[in-house]
Amino acid sequence: MREQLRDPGRLSHILMAIDNVHNFLDGKSFDVFCSDKILFFAVVKNLEIISEAANCITKEFRLQHPEVEWPVIIGMRHVLVHDYYNIDAKTAWQTAKENIPVLRPQIEALLEQLK
């Protein structure tokens, strides 16, 4: 059995996925996002990684850091994984463009605290 990643590892995965989303969408419009299936699914997959990694962070750690909207992030996971056939492009775009930039400094600060 593989050793489970600790919270810092999961936070690092979140940060890498955030950077992927940012890089994938850099200079892209909503119309391009909707019409480019590869781009759309690349962003969705990284949103899924963010939410899955958040879900795997220990409950104790999440409770110690309520400034991060863990329940919202984890709730997104359930939609992306279980309701995949109803993923709304507008919601994914708004999440990527509005929520992810807010999340990045929060995750960076948590990683810095853990050093």
Rounded-to-integer distance, Cα 94 and Cα 4, Å: 32
pLDDT band at 4 (very low <50, low <70, confident <90, very high): low
Q: Mind listing the pLDDT tens digit for each residue in 48-75?
A: 999 999 999 999 999 999 999 999 999 9
**Under 8 Å between Cβ of 47 and 88:** no
Give residue limits of the domains in the chain. 7-114
Helix segments in the chain, DSSP class H: 7-25, 30-35, 37-56, 59-64, 70-82, 89-94, 100-114
pLDDT band at 14 (very low <50, low <70, confident <90, very high): very high
Model pLDDT, residue 86: 84
pLDDT band at 115 (very low <50, low <70, confident <90, very high): confident
N-to-C CA span, the chain: 27
Residue 9 token pair? 């590892």
Share of the chain above pLDDT 90, in %: 85
Does the model's pTM come out above 0.75?
Answer: yes
Task: For tokens 């890089």, name the residue.
Answer: 23
Asked if residue 3 has pLDDT above 80, the reply is no
